[in-house]
Amino acid sequence: MKQAKPKPHRTHSDAPFIIGLCLLGGIYVFLIIGMLVADAAYLSPKEFLHIFKSPEIRYATRLSLISSSLTTILSLWVAVPIGYLLSRFKFPGKSLLDAVLDIPIVLPPLVIGLSLLIFFQTGLGKAIEKVVPVTYAIPSVILAQFMVACAFAVRTMRSTFDQLNPRREDVARTLGCTRSQAFWMVAFPEARRGMLTAATLAWARSLGEFGPILLFSGATRMRTEVLPTTVFLEMSVGNIEGAVAVSMLMVIAAVLVLVIVRLWGAEENLR
Amino acid sequence: MIRLENICIKIGNFRVEEVSFEVPSGGYCALMGKTGCGKTTVLESICGLRKVTSGKIFLMGRDITRERAANRGVGFVPQDLALFSTMSIREHLSFALMVRKQGAKTIARRVDELAELLGLSLLLDRKPNGLSGGESQRVALGRALSASPDILCLDEPLSALDDETREEMFVLLKRVKQETGVTTLHITHNMSETNTLADMLLRMEEGRIVQPDHGG
């Protein structure tokens, strides 16, 4: 018996799917832009510039920029070797190390600050304090920022090295390189873009870090005050304009860094 | 000369067992077999990139079973070529000599020699990104030959090339064989590659050599 030919398969338009994606994503993008526009509209340029007359805010700006930059350098120093180690070597306890490195990402920031404070009450912590005063001093700001920022840098460097073909280092070894030479001559230059991303992430995280700094460094003006602390202090005395102005300053700094890094990355791509 | 004596390698559940063969000095050996039969594993063990569980490997009469990859004097062209994306072609050809701290004049002379042999003279200042398949192959071959190794290991070097480029590479590999006299182990799936280039054929199945033979 001859079988009836099935009806030709017809599909619906893809438009509802695409529109759905755009709508869901669009809401988030609208909120980001809306938030920044609202901040900018809240202040006149005069009010914004007025904040620079305050020596406290000038101090906080300087401390924020210097501590974030130092934290970024320290984070890269630690993240590049750990990322390479995790990506290229098998060793006992690797899964445990991997999990430990995620702790600063999943812990509430305030808990990190409190834990640092408690650590420096232990025998080892007190011994360190005798050499370099840390708690409630400037080194505590850098350490608090480092504890969080470095974890993000480590994740970025791990995935950077995971994406780089280890065969290249193998070939370098057959060409006469030790593992160290293969790393410095082949893997390290190829990881440049990943390092740039890790540095940007670490810098941005450090600039915005507040919880651990509040607990571990305190909020002493002209001493351990960074820009997020300033926003908190200005808000607590009811100076919303001041808080918004300082927030705008952080937005501008973060956007500037993002733009510079993107441009630099694009230039590297063209080479 | 490449000599393997009862080489065993264990990777998880996969085993290469009791592999023994000898490729005489200046010989060109094709190693054939299905995907996953252990050809690359054997090649990697010769290059020093894979530890052997037992057995011995001799290169040019020297036992190098426990020797580091860097000290074996083996030129390696992996299947994916693994060119260094941040380096120019000139840097690829001079890499092994720079590692050996050769003088600038020696390096420049060797780079010119290789560029001439492999037809890379016009590409020296370019980076690998944007090279054609055949050009990339020639760069990988030049990089492997730069330190004048005694042994050359090629892992399916022609598999991704079109017919015309493959013919060009046949001619080039024959020329390399004649001019350098390097002992070569060449993994391939292709019988015409074997017939054209090799003077010896080995066949592998499920981690064992099943048919030592002389072809070519």
State which fold the A51-270 domain adopts: MetI-like fold (1.10.3720)
What are all long-range contacts of A131-137, with beta carbons under 8 Å and residues at least 24 apart?
A135/A216, A135/A217, A136/A216, A136/A217, A136/A218, A136/A220, A136/A223, A136/A224, A137/A217, A137/A223, A137/A224
CA dihedral B138, B87, A77, A165 (to 10 degrees): -20
Q: Is the dihedral of CA B110, B112, B115, B116 positive or negative?
A: negative
Report the complex ipTM: 0.93
**How far is Cα A78 from Cα A157, in angstroms, rounded to an integer?**
10
CB under 8 Å to A101, separation ≥6 — which residues? A82, A86, A151, A154, A155
CA dihedral B126, A84, B152, B43 (to 10 degrees): -140
Q: What's the pLDDT tens digit per position in A244-264?
A: 999 999 999 888 888 888 787
**How far is Cα B78 from Cα B125, in angstroms, rounded to an integer?**
23
- Six-digit token pair at A264? 């630099």
State how far residue B164 is from chain A, nearest Cα, in angstroms: 27
Domain ranges of chain B: 2-209
Cβ burial of A6 (10 Å; 0-12, 13-18, 19+) is exposed
Q: Any chain A CB within 8 A of the CB of B82?
A: yes
Query: CA of A181: which chain B residue's CA is closest?
Result: B99
Q: Any chain B CB within 8 A of the CB of A163?
A: no
State how far residue A149 is from chain B, nearest Cα, in angstroms: 28
Q: Do B69 and A186 touch (CB under 8 A)?
A: no
Closest Cβ–Cβ partner in A167, A175, A190 for B95: A175
- Six-digit token pair at A252? 């501008």
CA dihedral A254, A259, A260, A266 (to 10 degrees): 150
State which fold the B2-209 domain adopts: Rossmann fold (3.40.50)
Q: What's the pLDDT tens digit per position in A92-122?
A: 999 999 999 999 999 999 999 999 999 999 9
Q: Any chain B CB within 8 A of the CB of A174?
A: yes
CA angle A147, A153, A154 (to 5 degrees): 90
CB under 8 Å to B184, separation ≥6 — which residues? B23, B27, B28, B29, B151, B152, B153, B154, B173, B177
**How far is Cα A181 from Cα A198, in angstroms, rounded to an integer?**
23
Query: How do the pLDDT tens digits run along chain A, 271 residues long?
Result: 567 788 888 888 999 999 999 999 999 999 999 998 998 898 888 888 888 888 999 999 999 999 999 999 999 999 999 999 999 999 999 999 999 999 999 999 999 999 999 999 999 999 999 999 999 999 999 999 999 999 999 999 999 999 999 999 999 999 999 999 999 999 999 999 899 999 999 999 999 999 999 999 998 888 999 999 999 999 999 988 889 999 999 999 888 888 888 787 776 655 5
